[in-house]
């Protein structure tokens, strides 16, 4: 029997590819982050790479080898939060907040001290961290997708009623009034799209990103036209 080799990819790429499994993770950012953390903690996803305890959090992260090396699996077992850079470059590394059990001496009744396990929060710098994408994908589909959702299928089947889009337009217009019109390259249109997507999702609708973008582009144009007339 031939064993299929692991499809190793970096954690950053894996996080970026999660919307391939479910489109909602493209705008439910915190939910997607929690799903990845939960999946890794379950221990079913093969991982490899190096980890170093961040001893000096105020210093730039360029060469973490000077910090204390720790086992990557120890970090994963107590993983709490992942901070993955959007763009991979020198000086930017993945940070992992995790919980570690350490032994400390504590006071006991009737005097004296005794060793006791104590949980401590730590931060690790990850270097060359990779995971098996197929295993992560399978685990996310099995445990992290909302009940009733399958990969590649969106919540809220059918056409979204006109009143919902009308209300979404009102939300967008208020957003534009508070934040101003997006300018080329400032990512504000993306922020507005994500806010509208989240607003729709909370009301039971999950349209394609391209559908939301088409509406947002039209609303921005309408907002500019209304303000030019005023």
| 118 & 36 share domain | yes
Q: 132 and 84: one domain?
A: yes
Q: Please report the pLDDT score of residue 2 as a whole number.
A: 55
Of 145-159, 184-198, 216-230, where does mean pLDDT reach its minimum? 145-159
pLDDT tens profile 160-211: 878 889 999 999 999 999 999 988 777 888 889 888 888 888 888 878 788 8
Q: Residue 36: which of 81, 92, 99, 100 has the closest Cα? A: 81
Which of 35-39, 57-61, 149-153, 187-191 is predicted with the least confidence, judged by mean pLDDT? 149-153
DSSP string computed for 8-67: EEEHHHHHHHGGGT-GGGGT-HHHHHHHHHHHHHHT-S-EEEEEEE-S-TTS--S-GGGS
| Span 76-95, pLDDT tens digits | 999 999 998 765 555 578 99
Per-residue pLDDT, 158: 56
Same-domain status, 117 and 61: yes
The band of 51, judged by pLDDT with boundaries at 50, 70 and 90, is very high
pTM for this prediction: 0.63
Domain of residue 188, residue span:
162-229
17/90 Cα distance (integer angstroms): 22
Q: Residue 142 carries which DSSP code? A: I
Q: What is the mean pLDDT of the chain?
A: 83
pLDDT at residue 213 greater than cutoff 70: yes
Residue 209 has a pLDDT of 80
Number of domains in the chain: 2
Instruction: Give CA–CA dist 213/217, Å, rounded.
Output: 6
Are 200 and 115 members of one domain?
A: no
Distance (Å) of CA 145 to CA 28, 132, 139: 12, 19, 10
Which of 112, 144, 176 terminates a domain? The answer is: 144
Give the per-residue pLDDT at 115: 81
Identify the pLDDT of residue 152: 46
Helix, strand, coil percentages (3-state) for the chain, rounded to 5, are: 45, 25, 35
Q: Are residues 31 and 81 in the same domain?
A: yes
With 50 as the cut, is the pLDDT of residue 148 above it? Answer: no
Under 8 Å between Cβ of 47 and 76: yes
- Confidence check: pLDDT of 142 > 50: yes
Residues 84 and 169 in one domain: no
- 100 forms beta bridges with 120
């Amino acid at each position: 029997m031939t064993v299929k080799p692991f499809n190793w990819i970096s954690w950053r790429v894996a996080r970026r590819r999660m919307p391939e499994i479910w489109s909602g993770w493209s705008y439910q950012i915190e939910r997607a982050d929690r799903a990845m953390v939960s999946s890794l903690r379950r221990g079913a996803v093969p991982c490899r790479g190096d980890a170093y305890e961040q001893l000096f959090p105020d210093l730039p992260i360029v060469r973490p080898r000077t910090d204390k090396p720790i086992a990557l699996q120890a970090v994963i077992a107590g993983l709490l939060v992942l901070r993955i850079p959007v763009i991979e470059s020198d000086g930017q590394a993945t940070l992992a907040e995790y919980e570690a059990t350490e032994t400390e001496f504590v006071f006991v009744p009737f005097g004296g001290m005794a060793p006791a396990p104590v949980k401590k929060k730590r931060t690790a710098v990850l270097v060359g961290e990779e995971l098996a994408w197929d295993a992560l994908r399978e685990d996310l589909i099995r445990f992290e997708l909302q009940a009733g959702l399958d990969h590649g299928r969106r919540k809220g089947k059918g056409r979204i009623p006109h009143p919902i889009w009308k209300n979404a337009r009102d939300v967008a217009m208020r957003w534009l009034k508070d934040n101003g019109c997006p300018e080329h390259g400032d990512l504000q249109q993306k922020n507005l799209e994500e806010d509208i997507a989240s607003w729709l999702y909370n009301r039971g609708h999950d349209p394609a990103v391209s559908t939301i973008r088409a509406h947002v582009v039209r609303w921005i144009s309408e907002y500019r036209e209304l303000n030019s007339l005023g």
